[in-house]
Structure 1
């Protein structure tokens, strides 16, 4: 059944009825924020991180908290997206290195194999290549006879996952691509969620968002980080995979950059509110802190 559209004023009233307080904002100020700075659906979603009392109303949830969490969420998404892009770059670098030093691969045959094995991904990559605004000269110069180095420039994360799989098995599970093969699919979910601006610091511990088994090579890290109780939660699994990939493939300078910027992010998380008395938010902070510290080990 479709819900009736309501005004921002009534959305404010609905939040009040749910126990959300407005200790630092008048109704008019809150309405202006929801109409011009951030929209109701995203702001109100962060309320799910707060507990409810027996009457079904949220505890210790103020409108200011929702605004703060929305800002923190933006910083977390930007941080993880930049990390994902770096992982993508360094995995492409490793594939390029492997093919360059290979005495068997010429850089063209692997493209043909990829097209035959993963036709849909190849076609999608070529479609993007043909429609690109700034790099059409790369295609015009080479026509359909493309080397893998050029094709990789236009592969999205999913297409790159397939290339890793192809190369990994073609050469009897090449060791340097093992972690990429095992963990890129998990990392892809983080990359896509952040790239599509999805609310991120939400539903980390929802039992409907759980996985049956962790991918190979991730459990030992989860144990080392003392996150074993969270290992079946999808977002936690995917974040651990992302941090492992960065630490496995990125340069020392890049890893140090994400360690430093991660520390800055954690500092911003606690800049206005500690959320020590909000269990879900505190657990999310603690997990991210352990992952950032993992980059320094």
Structure 2
């Protein structure tokens, strides 16, 4: 870090070492340096404290996005089960076997997960030979849930499901990043995460959030819009009020040391977008 002109004025070298020994590790912490300008391989005006602060903000943001993703996942299961329950052509069993024939790998993953989960062994023993849809989806991970919804849509096309499918695969990107602790606040508005052709559905949804469509060329922004649009569609008013309040806490944490990032347009732009997204949860 010192060779790259990262300073230790706000946080001393000994404090930085102690932090990396017990709170974070070099590879993840150092990834946030990509937000800062450098000249001839040397960073300009970058103190270790800035990286430390960004890592903390990012952890708060990931926890927030993980909570939203879990709510969306639950909402997707509620929606698809409601559609199947009200479908007079389905008994809740045959659709699972059709999915097994269509997507054997996905079906196998769900059953393997059901078998391996210590808390679901009773469900596996009772239902593994012919699982009902409400058992199958109870343990289906997000990826396999997405595959099932797409499969169901092909059999029973509908406008509500089309909207969900148009957003689901992008929302999954955010869910996976949050679940696997991948940093969010890196490579913002750069060629690394550049999306040349944002989907028309997400462009329309971004307009509802007062987000400039030009900013959707950033993959993370694009996928965040998809996630929070699904959240608006699939969760309750109480849940969205909670996510609004939680989001305000994340934004407050962004601003604790806002002077660190005064010269970083990428961080300030992302913060403004996140603010619009959080506010959108309370709009009618």
- Distance in 2 (alpha carbons) for counterparts of 1:48 and 1:270: 20
- 2:265 corresponds to: 279
Once residues 152 and 258 of structure 1 are traced to their aligned partners in structure 2, the CA distance between those partners, rounded to angstroms, is 25
After TM superposition, give the deviation of residue 216 of structure 1 in Å: 4.4
Q: Does 1:39 align with 2:55?
A: no
CA contact (8 A) 1:227 1:287 kept: no
Greater displacement, 270-279 / 162-171: 270-279
Q: Distance between the aligned counterparts of 1:104 and 1:98, measured in 2?
A: 11
**Which stretch shifts more, 273-282 or 101-110?**
273-282
Aligned equivalent of 1:211: 195
C-alpha displacement at 1:214, in angstroms? 2.6
Over residues 124-163 of structure 1, what are the superposed CA-to-partner deviations in whole Å (9 max), with x where a residue is unaligned?
1111111110111012123411110000011111101111
Structure-2 residue corresponding to 1:250: 235
The 1-side partners of 2:194 and 2:12 are apart by 40
- Per the normalisation by structure 2, the TM-score is 0.94
Deviations 1:7-36 (A, max 9, x none): xxxxxxxx1222211112322222222222
Supply the distance in 2 between the matched residues of 1:155 and 1:111 (Cα, whole angstroms): 12
Q: TM-score w.r.t. structure 1 length?
A: 0.90
**Aligned residue-pair number:** 281
Which residue number corresponds to residue 290 of structure 1?
Answer: 276
1:259–1:295 CA contact under 8 A, matched in 2:
yes
Name which structure has the greater RCO, CA cutoff 8 Å, separation 6+: 2
Q: Are 2:211 and 2:273, in contact at CA under 8 Å, matched by a contact in 1? A: no
* Alignment partner, residue 176 of structure 1: 160
Query: What is the CA distance between 1:209 and its match in structure 2?
Result: 2.0
Cα pair 1:209 1:233 within 8 Å, conserved: yes
Unaligned runs of 5+ in 2: none
The offset of 1:189, in angstroms, is 0.8
Contact 1:214 1:231 in 2 (8 A): yes
Aligned-residue Cα RMSD (Å) equals 1.4
1:153 aligned partner = 138
Instruction: Choose 38-47 or 147-156, whichever is displaced more.
Output: 38-47
Residue equivalent to 2:218: 233
Q: Deviations over 1:74-103 (max 9, x none)?
A: 010010011111000001001111111111
Q: 1:194 aligns with which of 178, 203, 211?
A: 178
Partner in structure 2 of residue 6 of structure 1:
none
The aligned residue for residue 27 of structure 1 is: 13
- Which is further off, 23-32 or 96-105? 23-32
